[in-house]
Amino acid sequence: MRIPVPEVLLPAEALGKVHFIGIGGAALSGIARIMARRGVPVSGSDDNDTPFLPSLRELGVVCHLGYSPDHLDDADTVVVTTAAREDNPEVVEARRRGLRILPRSAGLAAVMDRQRVVAVTGTHGKTTTTALLTVALRAAGGDPTYAVGGVLSSTGRNADLGAGEVFVAEADESDGAFLVYSPHAAIVTNVEADHLDIWGTEEAYAAAFVDFLDRLDPAGFVVCCVDDPGAARLAVAARTRGLDVVTVGEGEDADLRLTQVLLPGRDGFASSTTLVSADGEVSLDLRIPGRHYLVDAAAAFAAGRRLDYPVDTLVAGLRDFTGTQRRMEFKGEAGGVRVYDSYAHHPREIVGDLEAARSMVGAGRLIVAFQPHLVSRTRLFGREMGEALGAADEVVVLDVYLAREDPDPDVTGVLVAAAVPLAADRVQYVPELMAVPSALSTLAAPGDVVLTLGAGSVTSVGPDLLALLEERSHGRA
């Protein structure tokens, strides 16, 4: 549901007691955590007891399971997830009482008032780049506040209140949330058509990023990853506005250029590159595989340098970065089969993660299970998703994960499976989630890498698959 943003955005301490409807999600749980750390009375409700809730309960936050008007208690303000329905009983009760009702974006803006905000946005790579910058600044002694759309492996959290002057925030463009913030600086990873169910046209989507530039502090800066044409055009628009722009990419014209990209990387690292700028050369090594992750890390490095943090400590922080959950996350190994999980759900993201996975396979095969996300996205990009999956050796396609949309019988995973450019016996359409682990275990052999891809429930497949592989390796299957 869409909640209007109020004309006046109040700081967190002026909101009174805040209740979060959908507190278990990645975004709202992070905002709730920061508010609670700042001493704001916080409560919340969710359908599911998600992994984000235990750490909130440790802070004394009451987290209800299920929705009821009674859960609002004496709340003054309600922050609502975009996934909530109009008939949610807590939304209905909040409106009946005339409470202040905020969308996620206004909730995040409420905790941005004390620090210099670096907003990380773009069609792809926001979560990883936000996490990379956060970890780099922490390694450099910056102690930033951060709000990320995934859990940092190094902290076990998706958000926290820091004592430093910088707030690193993932700024979501999907519903226009990033147009609510007024950051000091920004990183733009790429600008490629997506979320057209919200924006309508590719032109309107790209125009929103131009509008975002006007939200930036004129004394701040913007880092643009200009190997992407959309981000390159945005860099030009930023310079015409007089903003301080740093371009990052493999192209000759980039201010910070990636050279000698290695997959796998140097000395046992998963990926490596050399960064070249007017200030000289810097070696960058990452523990996570993938060319696109090297670009994300270079953008984080560029932002860290603009914030005046030292080269050596930034590089050390990036080198020690161990990833975020659901971004090429290693789930385990059983029976000689390695299993990874990633959030990729757009054709560009699929291409990047399959390239990264291919660099780890060695003599084995790459087996991918992909769950399309959203009917609207599958309708627009289903063929491209299938074509991107052709980089695997074996492919299992699930049915569409609906999320906030209603089903369409004409838009299913069949659209994706039919577009995979592999022999028919190497592509399976397995619509039911529960049947996927068995299908994968039948395919997988020692030495193979299995990658589960998608922004929905496919993330549950990995542990079930590992259990089956473990049983098979001990002769119990």
User: Same domain, yes or no, for 289 and 167?
Assistant: yes
Percent of the chain at pLDDT > 90 equals 75
Active-site entry in 90, 93, 170, 192: 170
Name residues whose C-beta falls within 8 Å of residue 328's C-beta, 6 or more positions apart in sequence. 288, 289, 290, 293, 340, 342, 353, 356, 357
**Chain-centre distance of CA 21, in angstroms?**
21
Q: Residue 286: what pLDDT? A: 95
19 plus 137 within the same structural domain:
no
For the record, the structure tokens of 44 come out as 């919340």
Residue 417 in tokens: 């499976």
pLDDT at position 44, please? 98
Question: Which residues contact residue 173 at a Cβ distance below 8 angstroms, ignoring those fewer than 6 apart?
Answer: 121, 122, 123, 195, 205, 208, 209, 212
CB of 440 closer than 8 Å to CB of 367: yes
Tell me whether residue 137 is in a domain: yes
Q: Report yes or no: 112 and 217 within 8 Å, Cβ to Cβ.
A: no
- What is the C-alpha to C-alpha distance for residues 201 and 208, in angstroms, rounded to an integer? 11
* pLDDT at position 204 over 80: yes
CATH of the domain at 363: 3.90.190.20
Catalytic entry in 77, 90, 123, 126: 126
How far apart CA 62 and CA 68 sit, in angstroms, is 14
Q: Can you tell me the mean pLDDT for 216-233?
A: 97
Examine the domain organization and report whether 388 and 360 are in the same domain. yes
The count of domains in the chain is 3
In 242-374, which ranges are continuous DSSP H helix? 291-306, 311-319, 347-361
Average pLDDT, the chain: 92
For residue 469, give its domain range.
Answer: 329-473
Query: Roughly what angle, to the nearest 10 degrees, separates helices 347-361 and 291-306?
Result: 110
Q: Is residue 401 assigned to a domain?
A: yes
Shared domain for 299 and 353, answered yes or no, is no
Give the per-residue pLDDT at 194.
72
Residue 305 and residue 381 in one domain: no
In a domain, 3, yes or no: no
pLDDT band at 196 (very low <50, low <70, confident <90, very high): low
354 with 421, same domain: the answer is yes
Closest to 468 in 3D by CA, of 441, 435, 439, 443: 441
**Structural Rg of the chain based on CA atoms:** 22
CA distance 453 to 342: 5
Q: 331 an active-site residue?
A: no
Is residue 55 classed as helix, strand or coil in its secondary structure? helix
End-to-end CA distance of the chain: 46
Q: Residue 195: is its pLDDT beyond 70?
A: no
d(CA 170, CA 155): 17
The two tokens of residue 268 are 């046992």
pLDDT at 477 over 60: no
Task: Output the pTM of the full model.
Answer: 0.82
Rounded to whole angstroms, what are the CA distances from 77 to 24, 29, 48, 102, 224?
17, 16, 22, 7, 36
CATH code of the domain in which 309 resides: 3.40.1190.10
- The stretch 196-218 carries a mean pLDDT of 89
Contacts for 170 with CB less than 8 Å, ≥ 6 apart: 119, 120, 121, 126, 127, 130, 147, 148, 149
pLDDT tens column, 52-91 = 999 999 999 999 999 999 999 999 999 999 888 899 999 9
Q: 405 in a domain, yes or no?
A: yes
Task: Judge contact between 243 and 224, C-beta under 8 A.
Answer: no
Catalytic residue among 77, 81, 121, 127: 127
Task: Give the other-Cβ count within 10 Å of 58's Cβ.
Answer: 10
- Tell me, what's the pLDDT at 380? 86
343 and 469 part of one domain: yes
Q: Is residue 126 annotated as part of the catalytic site, yes or no?
A: yes
Whether 7 is in a domain gets the answer: no
